[in-house]
Amino acid sequence: MIDVWEILEDRLDYASFVPAPVPDIERADLTRRGGGRYTVLKNPHGDHGAGRYLRLESGDLALYELMDGRRTVQEILVLHLERAGVFALERLARLTSAMRANGFFGEEPPPLYEKLRAMTAKRDPLTTASLLLRRLVVWDIAHWSNAEGFVDRVYRSVGWLAFTRIGAAVLLAFSLYGLVQWFEETRVPANQLVTVNGSYVLGLIALTILQVISISVHEAGHALAIRHFGRRVRRLGIAMYYLFPCAYVDSTDMSLASRQKRVVVSLAGPFAGVTVAAACAIVARFIPGTLAGEIAFKA
């Protein structure tokens, strides 16, 4: 039987606490643009397997490296004082608190704050209004955690071609050609932007759907680039952003990659969008006046 009071006593006696990180933490030592160093840790078990992340500065890293699962907080502080000449109690307290909150000691943080916030919201009209406003700005409709399996299948089937030199060159040439056709179409447009078959309602519906598809393609570019560099897509989802539906990709796992790879992932989304836009511009240019041409022009 678990002795709650014994556990509580151990937690309150911080000096005797033995920080023991889970054994399979992933670590990446990275460099800032200005030359400074920092470290990112990943707990692969946190957030129901999606992973949790923690960024450490050099002072935090020195303390983290002393956590061997045997030393107490008191022993870590003394050893760090001998090595660095700094009594880092406050820094160590912040570090262990952040690690515990993100499950680095093998415990999933209980959703106490969420429950307290919900209870407070029922009593406080200002809190209720604040939460409602936040939902109007960003509302997560649905999400799919641990989505790397689906992304991996798409990447292995066709996505990998875009990351070869030949594939990237072909897509770039295709995008430039589509851009030329778009300029030609806008000079003397044969299609209407806000109507479909003369209907403004159908036109607005088409624009909304096409915008969602466009954002989804953009996010798919990010997801495939993440997979290309061997990182995980933690979550795919659909959300309302300022009352507008959109897809999103959680790219947090790229925080363990180099700056160059993160730049490529950032550019992959716009590049995917430009490629699809080029295809639509070509369709609108060469089959004007048709339903397909009108929809392609709006995309």
Same domain, 81 and 173: no
pLDDT at 1 exceeding the cut of 60: no
Most distant CA pair in the chain, distance: 80
Q: Does any domain span residue 129?
A: no
Based on the fold, state whether residues 185 and 93 are members of the same structural domain.
no
Instruction: Compute the radius of gyration of the chain from its Cα atoms.
Output: 26
pLDDT above 80 for 97: yes
Give the three-class secondary structure for 13.
Answer: coil
By residue range, what is the domain housing residue 230? 137-298
Confidence of residue 191 (pLDDT cuts 50, 70, 90): low
Q: Is residue 119 part of a domain?
A: no
- pTM of the model as a whole: 0.79
Is residue 28 domain-shared with residue 88, that is, in the same domain? yes
Average pLDDT over residues 71-98: 92
Residue 10 scores a pLDDT above 70: no
**What pLDDT does 137 receive?**
66
The count of domains in the chain is: 2
What is the overall mean pLDDT for the chain? 82
Average pLDDT over residues 262-273: 93
Least confident of 39-43, 231-235, 245-249, 268-272: 245-249
8 lies in the same domain as 146: no
Q: Supply 217's token pair.
A: 């393609």
Q: Which of these ranges, 35-44, 132-141, 278-287, has the smallest mean pLDDT?
A: 132-141
Same domain, 193 and 287: yes
Q: Are residues 83 and 151 in the same domain?
A: no
Whether residues 97 and 235 fall in one domain: no
What's the confidence (pLDDT) of residue 7? Answer: 52
Domain for residue 293, yes or no?
A: yes
pLDDT of the residue at 12: 53
Percent of the chain with pLDDT over 90: 40
Predicted pLDDT at 234: 86
pLDDT for 55: 94
DSSP string, 147-214: THHHHHHHHHHTGGGGGSHHHHHHHHHHHHHHHHHHHHHHHS--S-SS-BTTBHHHHHHHHHHHHHHH
